[in-house]
Structure 1
Amino acid sequence: QLLGEADRVQYDPEFQRRKKRLLDFDGIQTRELPRGFEGELRPYQKAGFDWLYFLHDFEFGGCLADDMGLGKTIETLAYLQSQKESGHVHKATLLVLPRSLLVNWQREAEKFTPGLSFYEYFGNQRAEDINAFDNYDLILTTYGVMLRDIEQLREYRFHYAILDESQAIKNPLAKTSKAARLLNADHRLVLTGTPVENSTFELWSQFAYLNPGLLGNLDYFKNEFGNPIERQGDENTSEFLRKMVYPFILRRTKDQVAPELPPRTERVIYADMDPAQLKFYNKTRDYYRAMLLGAIEEKGMNNARMQVLEGLLRLRQICNHPRLVQADFRGDSAKFELLIETIATLQSEGHKALIFSQFVQMLKIVREALDQRKIPYTYLDGRTQNRQERVDTFQNDPKIPFFLISLKAGGVGLNLTAADYVIHIDPWWNPAVEMQATDRTHRIGQDKPVFVYKLITRNSVEEKILQLQDKKKALVEQLISTESSFFKSLTAEDVSVLFS
């Protein structure tokens, strides 16, 4: 459809050449794996390897969007090794990633592609002369360093510029996203298990990096795709957008390609609030409800959003433990007691579990309880320095049954297959974030069934978060969101329901 309309516009000879190649396209060719790859690709990974060559040959950027835990890193390394052995590569490849993934990439490269040389471009040891990159195959850096050093990095012409966990550039207006688009490379690739989490604009941002111009400029995209899909729920426009990006996104789910993975069982476990906790919750809810509905009536929804978020935060904290809001609270928390009981049972049965919370203060309360009961554990939040050491301790020490992890700090980049249980103390608005956290253990290498427990306080805002998650899950699975971001679409009626 797009190619048929190409004659209506003026184009240069290069466009004419590419158009002819696409019209002559008769399928993705099978390629030989490189000699220097020390491992084995599963059939779906080999298909991904061949797809990366298709993108290379037709000079397109692409998004490898396989489910978390299916081995995107290994596929990419095998492909880069093959590129090196082709003899046509004379420049380094840039790999931009969250800092937490640096060690993981280094370990995987040493194991599967020891012939690839890499240079760590971060910290105080960064090379002043970027021409030194020519001495390496792979340049590893973080999103933070890329943003700070973009003026220098853009002076080098990379063979590939690859973004891992590319949801880091989902906001098209963020400085990190703009810096990524300034990188200079012959080819571009992004890796992510969640290419779209909330909004179609996240897709535009990644494609503005991968294939600039394919989806038009931001204003055009907003008028032609964003508004019709997100505000009007236009399924025809959504389907057309899906067709446009389909050749450039490769996504396989665990259910499709890895039936050998043990099953994952998810269970919601409810707790009823203790009397004192319920009284505190109702008092806080009624306070915010009266304040917010009055503020919305006076100032409008847009001017009351921060107060809405504050109110929701306080209610969610009380669901976990009232001490998060009132340090000298004397009563108990039903959910907290349920958590401690569950931990004791898992320990007695010889299981290992990951325990996630988005509130570091909640993890601190859990730590105090485990210390009192002399239950061993390891711990990780955003301030933890020796992350990999903590991971290795949990993975290899059978005497450490529990790993307490801040959801934001440990949701990506960690391989924790020693665990067979995952406990989410509190629900997060976006189900993709929780799925990423769960996939730290439910991934290739896992040989045990995985059980996921979500602790929910009954008759609270947490139950309403679950309902919102169910809505968003369908959008994530379709890749293109037909519902706008939760907070942006809040109405006065929604607020009334959330605080009911």
Structure 2
Amino acid sequence: MSLRAFKESLRPCSGSQSSISSSTQYFSSLSQNYDSSVNPRKPPKSSLSQQLLRLQDHHVSLTQTQPKSTKRETLLGSEGNYGDDGEEDEAKKDTIFRPKSESLQLDHTGPYEPLLLSLPGEVPAVQVPPSINCRLLHHQRAGVKFLFELYKNNHGGILGDDMGLGKTIQTIAFLAAVFGKDGESSDLRSRNHNQPQKPVLIVCPTSVIHNWEDEFSKWSTFSVAIYHGANRDLMIDKIEAHEVEILITSFDTYRIHGGTLLKVEWEIMIVDEAHRLKNEKSKLYKACLEIKTQKRYGLTGTIMQNKIMELFNLFDWVVPGCLGTREHFRDYYDEPLKHGQRSSAPETFTKVAEERKQHLVTVLRKYLLRRTKEETIGHLMRGKEDNVVFCAMSELQKRAYQRMLQLPDIQCLINKDLPCSCGSPLKQVECCKRIVPDGAIWPYLHRDNPDGCDSCPFCLVLPCLVKLQQVSNHLELIKPNPKDDPDKQRKDAEFASAVFGTDIDLVGGITQNESFMGLSDVKHCGKMRALEKLMLSWLSEGDKVLLFSYSVRMLDILEKFLIRKGCCFSRLDGSTPTGLRQSLVDDFNTSPSKQVFLISTRAGGLGLNLVSANHVVIFDPSWNPAQDLQAQDRSFRFGQKRHVVVFRLLAAGSLEELVYTRQVYKQQLANIAVSGKMEKRYFEGVQDCKKFQGELFGICNLFRDLSDKLFTSEIIELHEKQEMEHANSANASADITGIGMSFLPYKEAFQVSTESEDDNSSEDDGKKKAKPVLEDAGIVYNHRNEDIVNSRPGIKGDRESSMHIEDNVQVSFVPGIRRKSDGQANNIQSAASSKLRKKRQYSALALFMGMGDVQLSKWLLSATPEQREKLLQNYKNKKAKLPGT
């Protein structure tokens, strides 16, 4: 190459400066328009009945490329419409589950310099490598700083972010900074003498071991080994030779072979899904206590699952003694918080509970960092709606459920505290009815011990609960499983025969139904009947659905149901090979033809990223609320571009209602103890307290007949009634000016009335003439979980400020208008104030109708749009005639 040609090649491009200038202007404009601290409004929440109303339009063709434009009706609620008029018109289209994609927003302010963790001027400097830091979100950088502060102070802590916020990535960034990784070399010989010389131990579920390994390879240059499987002993030799920096093992391996790992001196121990350490009596917990390092870190999105004492076990592992002794924690925190949440708790109890709650939260904040999706990446997501749908059981299911409650096994448990019929002063459980030789379940459990066991008859509780849940889900589940041993099949056949009774021919006998058409038929299963109606609406719109169930046999039935409906689906359960799972996930996310993903809740609760789905159905609830929330978060996580709608299906009048109300109870206690939030007091029962078992706890409540009532609905309605009476007595002179409806869209709540108020019978006509849209689907009641689990801020200043209501009610409901705030605290105040205002407005409208809040909600579900509009017009006219309006 000549010298001239070489100089020409070095000359800058003539358009480079203009290109750089235009690029700089573009990113500058993004910086001005983008404010990550303010979350834009989420799209209006969907209506369950609106989806079913689509089914009545016989003119909609599945081959249409554009959905028919209809008037949006939102019955269950609205958080506001889109920001401007153009988006408001767009929102009128019937595309609520496929919202218009927003323009790409780039964060050009992301740091491209190392994130310094050590103090300025401190040598050696501890910093996050630029190759990692430039890819971290703002909340993740804060998490890395939190972990390093704990490390610097030589004690442990909990990173308790919501699932999907990148706890794994934050941990890797923290370790890369501590070990001085620069992202270029993995040579252990280049390590600085001031950096840790000891390895790091990571204990996690088996299903995510390889996920940890993959993330380490993507983000940094650690020497990683896996202590799991047949060749695990070879890893110990590598550790002794200082060839391993990170050792990853599973819970089971650590529990069994922890003695070998305890011989190694560890710099840091990290436990993923740390809520597994909730039980102080488990072998895993005891093995983790024996680790010698004080730098113990737990990663979990569900810090507390069932009991407040779980908090003590977890924090006593990461920072021993930080919460005092076990007895002190139980007396000072656990008991006051539980009794203060009782619905009829005296005022002195509630005051003590408030003080202890604030004190506990203050102590936990020293060792706990917890952020939610709404606080961190809410502006990047479209929101989630968690619907709880109560489905009527089929008549055959109801009869089978009633017969089961009459079995000798369950009657023995129900009548355990009654005087014995033999004339003895002892209770039945202590005398003649301790064993049940004529039962349908007891003889098989004690086939090797005819005299019973030490736990009799309480050993029957769990098997009976499992059978009741099976009847609630599908009658085929109580029939013998051909894969079981002959003795169990014979026992299950006798049990099924007793439960089916005279209906045995209607269910095809006591043997498992092999008929494809019979298993896929929905007539004998209330939940499948509702699912059929909902799925037809979703799939016609091109939505993708995740369908969870705890029972593999139930997944088999649902699989035949999907085949009959012509759905293209994928399936993942415990029998799916580990190496095949990720390929199934990738195929579902990328294939437009895959509409439904059948997932076993136990196998698919962790490690799956299914953001292509915007609908989640949980077919059967869990006693542990965290498991249902983990299933929801397979779809609702970073990368989700659409509004996620969750449907939890419950069999109305069955044990599942009690399962759900206990979920609410546990979620409320967790919000109180961990976050210091205020929660509504629905229940009289107190966990682990025989004196206050109330409506939730105790064996008699578990096996209570709920077929003639809506258990959950009545509890909520009673609470709303008491709350309204309390509000009326506190402010008897309060008027009902400025009332809108939080359950209806803004345009319906505030449009100008053009009709007179002469028709006073509109409400009655609506009740009589309204066709119940949800009745065809067998849905008798539904609500949003977020409306029941209140989750209000617990800070006193926020709570007091939320009581001040602005005079201009209409402005707070206008779509696209966002209150200006100076910080996150003001945003919290605004949200709390808005929610309280909407609640009062809805209650006032219910009072105008002469109903309770729940009754009005039921009426709205079955009312036509014209009837709802007429109701609001009549109410507005009457409100205008009140003095002072």
Q: SS at the partner of 1:73?
A: helix
1:299 is aligned to 2:429: yes
Aligned equivalent of 1:309 = 462
Q: SS at the partner of 1:255?
A: helix
Structure 2 CA distance for partners of 1:92 and 1:421, relative to 1, 3 Å: same
Structure 2 CA distance for partners of 1:486 and 1:322, relative to 1, 3 Å: farther
Aligned equivalent of 2:575 = 383
Q: Does structure 2 retain, via aligned residues, the 8 Å contact 1:411–1:433?
A: yes
Structure 2 CA distance for partners of 1:368 and 1:486, relative to 1, 3 Å: farther
1:250 is aligned to 2:369: yes
1:439 is aligned to 2:633: yes
Aligned match for 2:139, one of 35, 40, 44: 44
> Could you tell me how far 1:408 is from its partner in structure 2?
1.9
C-alpha separation in 1, matches of 2:246 and 2:705: 49
Q: Which moved more, 1:360-369 or 1:289-298?
A: 289-298
Q: Which moved more, 1:80-89 or 1:158-167?
A: 80-89
Q: TM-score, normalised by structure 1?
A: 0.86
1:363 is aligned to 2:555: yes
Q: Does structure 2 retain, via aligned residues, the 8 Å contact 1:322–1:333?
A: yes
Q: TM-score, normalised by structure 2?
A: 0.50
C-alpha separation in 2, matches of 1:143 and 1:227: 31
Q: SS at the partner of 2:646?
A: strand
Q: Does structure 2 retain, via aligned residues, the 8 Å contact 1:428–1:434?
A: yes
Q: Which moved more, 1:131-140 or 1:297-306?
A: 297-306
> Could you tell me how far 1:253 is from its partner in structure 2?
0.9
Aligned equivalent of 2:396 = 276
Structure 2 CA distance for partners of 1:104 and 1:28, relative to 1, 3 Å: same
1:157 is aligned to 2:265: yes
> Could you tell me how far 1:154 is from its partner in structure 2?
0.4
Aligned match for 2:252, one of 130, 135, 144: 144
Q: Does structure 1 retain, via aligned residues, the 8 Å contact 2:294–2:319?
A: no
Q: After superposition, give the CA deviation of every residue in 1:177-207 in whole Å (9 maximum; x if it has no partner).
A: 1111122335210000001111122222222
Structure 2 CA distance for partners of 1:362 and 1:129, relative to 1, 3 Å: closer
1:35 is aligned to 2:130: yes
Q: Does structure 2 retain, via aligned residues, the 8 Å contact 1:156–1:184?
A: no
Q: Which moved more, 1:229-238 or 1:316-325?
A: 229-238
Q: After superposition, give the CA deviation of every residue in 1:6-50 in whole Å (9 maximum; x if it has no partner).
A: xxxxxxxxxxxxxxxxxxxxx997974323427522211111111
Q: SS at the partner of 2:297?
A: strand
Aligned equivalent of 2:4 = none
Q: SS at the partner of 2:359?
A: helix
Structure 2 CA distance for partners of 1:66 and 1:305, relative to 1, 3 Å: farther
Aligned equivalent of 1:101 = 208
C-alpha separation in 2, matches of 1:283 and 1:186: 56
> Could you tell me how far 1:461 is from its partner in structure 2?
2.4
Structure 2 CA distance for partners of 1:141 and 1:273, relative to 1, 3 Å: same
C-alpha separation in 2, matches of 1:426 and 1:258: 29
Which structure's relative contact order is higher, taking Cα pairs within 8 Å and 6+ residues apart? Answer: 1
C-alpha separation in 2, matches of 1:493 and 1:388: 45
1:406 is aligned to 2:600: yes
Aligned equivalent of 2:539 = 347
1:491 is aligned to 2:702: no
Structure 2 CA distance for partners of 1:382 and 1:56, relative to 1, 3 Å: same
| Larger Rg computed on CA atoms | 2
Structure 2 CA distance for partners of 1:243 and 1:459, relative to 1, 3 Å: same
C-alpha separation in 2, matches of 1:47 and 1:229: 31
Q: Does structure 2 retain, via aligned residues, the 8 Å contact 1:63–1:191?
A: yes
Aligned equivalent of 1:4 = none
> Could you tell me how far 1:248 is from its partner in structure 2?
0.2
Structure 2 CA distance for partners of 1:483 and 1:94, relative to 1, 3 Å: farther
C-alpha separation in 1, matches of 2:649 and 2:668: 22
> Could you tell me how far 1:426 is from its partner in structure 2?
1.3
Aligned match for 1:123, one of 224, 229, 238: 229
Q: Does structure 2 retain, via aligned residues, the 8 Å contact 1:65–1:252?
A: yes
Q: Which amino acid aligns with 1:319?
A: S
Q: Which amino acid aligns with 1:46?
A: R
> Could you tell me how far 1:153 is from its partner in structure 2?
0.2
Q: Which amino acid aligns with 2:129?
A: P
C-alpha separation in 2, matches of 1:442 and 1:267: 14
Q: Does structure 2 retain, via aligned residues, the 8 Å contact 1:199–1:483?
A: no
Q: Report 1:195-274 matches (<5 A).
A: 195-230=303-338, 235=353, 236-259=355-378, 260-274=380-394
Q: Does structure 1 retain, via aligned residues, the 8 Å contact 2:405–2:703?
A: no
C-alpha separation in 2, matches of 1:485 and 1:83: 44
1:325 is aligned to 2:478: yes
1:476 is aligned to 2:582: no
Q: Which amino acid aligns with 1:394?
A: F
> Could you tell me how far 1:137 is from its partner in structure 2?
2.4
> Could you tell me how far 1:305 is from its partner in structure 2?
4.1
C-alpha separation in 2, matches of 1:484 and 1:203: 15
Aligned equivalent of 1:70 = 165
> Could you tell me how far 1:162 is from its partner in structure 2?
0.2
C-alpha separation in 2, matches of 1:202 and 1:385: 33
C-alpha separation in 1, matches of 2:700 and 2:167: 42
> Could you tell me how far 1:414 is from its partner in structure 2?
1.7
Q: Which moved more, 1:450-459 or 1:294-303?
A: 294-303
| Number of residue equivalences | 473
Q: Does structure 2 retain, via aligned residues, the 8 Å contact 1:464–1:498?
A: no
C-alpha separation in 1, matches of 2:659 and 2:705: 9
Q: Does structure 2 retain, via aligned residues, the 8 Å contact 1:475–1:483?
A: no
Q: After superposition, give the CA deviation of every residue in 1:76-108 in whole Å (9 maximum; x if it has no partner).
A: 111111111173121221111001112322232
Q: After superposition, give the CA deviation of every residue in 1:323-352 in whole Å (9 maximum; x if it has no partner).
A: 111367346112123224433443332222
Q: Does structure 2 retain, via aligned residues, the 8 Å contact 1:98–1:164?
A: yes
Q: After superposition, give the CA deviation of every residue in 1:429-465 in whole Å (9 maximum; x if it has no partner).
A: 2222211110111011111111101112223222333
Aligned match for 1:81, one of 163, 173, 176: 176
Q: Which amino acid aligns with 1:174?
A: S
> Could you tell me how far 1:272 is from its partner in structure 2?
1.8
Q: Which amino acid aligns with 1:274?
A: S
- Greater strand percent: which structure? 1
C-alpha separation in 2, matches of 1:486 and 1:102: 40
C-alpha separation in 2, matches of 1:280 and 1:257: 48
Q: SS at the partner of 2:361?
A: helix
Structure 2 CA distance for partners of 1:409 and 1:484, relative to 1, 3 Å: farther
C-alpha separation in 1, matches of 2:703 and 2:294: 52
Structure 2 CA distance for partners of 1:39 and 1:389, relative to 1, 3 Å: farther
Aligned equivalent of 2:768 = none
> Could you tell me how far 1:59 is from its partner in structure 2?
1.1
C-alpha separation in 2, matches of 1:333 and 1:182: 50
C-alpha separation in 2, matches of 1:28 and 1:478: 34
> Could you tell me how far 1:321 is from its partner in structure 2?
0.8
C-alpha separation in 2, matches of 1:153 and 1:146: 8
Q: Which moved more, 1:126-135 or 1:489-498?
A: 489-498
Q: Does structure 2 retain, via aligned residues, the 8 Å contact 1:61–1:210?
A: yes
Aligned equivalent of 2:789 = none
Q: After superposition, give the CA deviation of every residue in 1:163-187 in whole Å (9 maximum; x if it has no partner).
A: 0001111101100111111223352
C-alpha separation in 2, matches of 1:483 and 1:239: 20
Q: Which amino acid aligns with 1:381?
A: D
Q: Does structure 2 retain, via aligned residues, the 8 Å contact 1:69–1:439?
A: yes
Structure 2 CA distance for partners of 1:65 and 1:209, relative to 1, 3 Å: same
Q: SS at the partner of 1:46?
A: helix
Q: Does structure 1 retain, via aligned residues, the 8 Å contact 2:160–2:301?
A: yes
